Amino acid sequence: MVGRTLNKRVTYEIRNKIAGISLATDLTVVDTFKGNKLQSLLKGIKCKFIKYNVSGLDNWNEIEQYNKEFVEKYGIQNFMLVGLDMMTGIKFDDRKQIERILSRYQKEPTIGLNYVSTRKVFEKVMLIKNCAEAGINTMHFVIDPQEAILQAKRFYKLRREDCEYLPSYELSLITDGIEVCNNDRKYDVVFGCGAQTKDREWVLKIKNRLESIPKSKIIILTKENANEGIPQKEYVESLREARFTFVIPSYDRTTFSIVRFMEAIKQGCIPLVFSNCCLLEVKDTFPQIYKVIAKSLLVENVGEIKQKIKNMTLKEMKQIQIEIMHDKELRNAISAKRMREEYEKVLI
């Protein structure tokens, strides 16, 4: 089941995750979205679909009963939630809301149901809860480490203390081929990010300097122009037009934007990494990639970015791409056989 809203900024990553999972094991997707929105997104991926709809139910007691019958009807043994639109971290803290509803819903069976956004998320939280209580192997594949902690095993795209590492997106990223680095590209740099919160103010401070880089396409989304963002897939494809891009610290400073990094490598676009990024999880998960970053890709400021762009030869760029793709752990993550073995360890 997909736990994230299907907005244009996350759909590409969600599709790649589910594509990877489908290559590792037989997959049935629980579809909670109206119409064929999810099925259209996952078109071409080998999976079945089950519709899940409790919109006509008026209280949590009825929803829980529906969940129990739903689980029994389809004989569910392994249930995975991919992402969740509730956070318990730096930007947001939905813990109190979760605890409030879960502690009161039995005595107040309509609590939260009159608010559409709250209801949609809690329908998924409740299904996870009911699956766990039924003894089903219940898992939460975290997209953002700040996602709320549920009654489920947590998995993540990197090795970190509060989650188990489980590959998913890497195989689908690589299966349709890698673009080789070349100098015959429209831009030297393509980069885009959101800067709508206080912890991204530093990006706004260097925005003019980033835009001063020759042959650059810089897209910084603020509160004023937030609606001008392009779909994630379109942005990833635009990396094919550039020699370089950047990776900046994640909103959760304890992790690293490994998906952004690998999307660039796939497009033959070298990702320069700001030195204030946290690389501990990369070091533990993909040690060869970590060495390449530490040796060749770290930058302190815009001046160093300009120097890298000016001085890095095509031969060096190609060598970086090769060394990254030869990381032993990454090779395992893009092996369908090894992925199936990893999923057999966590599935019943």
| Range 138-151 average pLDDT | 90
131 and 192 housed in the same domain: no
Q: What's the average model confidence in pLDDT over 143-154?
A: 89
Strands (E), 283-322: 298-299
| Same domain membership, residue 206 and residue 307 | yes
Indicate whether 183 and 283 sit together in one domain. Answer: yes
More confident of the two residues 118 and 224: 118
Nearest in space to 218 (alpha carbons), one of 237, 242, 200: 242
pLDDT digits (tens, 9 = 90+) for 242-290: 999 999 999 888 999 998 999 999 999 999 999 999 999 999 999 999 9
Predicted confidence band at 117 (pLDDT cuts at 50, 70, 90)?
confident
Mean pLDDT (whole number) for 332-343: 88
Q: What is the pTM of this model?
A: 0.89
Does one domain contain both 181 and 307?
A: yes
Q: Is pLDDT at 79 greater than 90 in this prediction?
A: yes
Residue 228, pLDDT > 90, answer no
How far is 72 from 69, CA to CA, in rounded Å? 5
- pLDDT of res. 229: 67
* CA gap 130, 122 in Å, rounded: 12
Question: Please, which residues have CB within 8 angstroms of residue 75's CB and are 6 or more apart in sequence?
Answer: none
Structure tokens at 225: 């122009």
Read off the pLDDT band of 70 (50, 70, 90): very high
Q: Show the domain range for 29.
A: 11-156
Residue 327 lies in a domain: yes
**Weakest mean pLDDT among 72-86, 89-103, 239-253:** 89-103
**For residues 105-118, average pLDDT:** 89
For 44, the token pair is: 């071409």
Give the strand pairing for 78-82 and 48-51: unpaired
Q: What angle do CA 42, 50, 135 make, to 5 degrees?
A: 115
Phi (first) and psi of residue 217, to 5 degrees: -125, 100
When pLDDT is averaged across residues 38-48 and rounded to a whole number, the result is 94
CB contact burial 195-225 (16+ within 10 A = b; e otherwise): beeeebeebeeeeeebeebeebbbebbeeee
Mean pLDDT for 29-36 is 94
Count structural domains, the chain.
2
Distance CA 244, CA 233 (A): 18
Separation between Cα atoms, residue 55 and residue 33, nearest integer Å = 11
Supply the mean pLDDT for the chain.
90
Rounded to the nearest 5°, which phi and psi values hold at 154?
-100, 135
Question: Which pLDDT score is estimated for 226?
Answer: 61
**Which residue has better confidence, 286 or 100?**
286
Position 257 in a domain: yes
Helix or strand holding residue 51 (H, E): strand 48-51
Residue 92 predicted with pLDDT over 60: no
134 and 209, same structural domain?
no
Give the whole-angstrom CA distance, residue 52 versus residue 36. 13
Q: What is the CATH number of the domain that holds 189?
A: 3.40.50
What is the C-alpha to C-alpha distance for residues 12 and 243, in angstroms, rounded to an integer? Answer: 22
245 inside domain: yes
Backbone angles phi, psi at 328, to 5 degrees: -60, -45
Helices (H), 105-187: 116-133, 169-175
Pair 150, 181 in one domain: no
324 with 182, same domain: the answer is yes
Distance CA 79, CA 312 (A): 47
Q: Which amino acid is at 25?
A: T
- For residues 195 and 134, membership in a common domain is answered with no
Asked whether 254 and 279 are in contact (CB, 8 A), the reply is no
Of 72-86, 212-226, 318-332, where does mean pLDDT reach its minimum?
212-226
Together in a domain, 84 and 142: yes
Task: Say how many C-beta atoms besides its own lie within 10 A of residue 327's C-beta.
Answer: 20
More confident: 175 or 43 = 43
15-32 pLDDT, tens per residue? 888 988 998 899 999 999
pLDDT of residue 267: 93
Residue 339: inside a domain: no
Q: How many residues does the chain have?
A: 348
Residue 91 has pLDDT above 60, yes or no: no
Report percent pLDDT > 90 for the chain.
Answer: 64
Residues 207 and 103 in one domain: no
State mean pLDDT over 330-348: 90
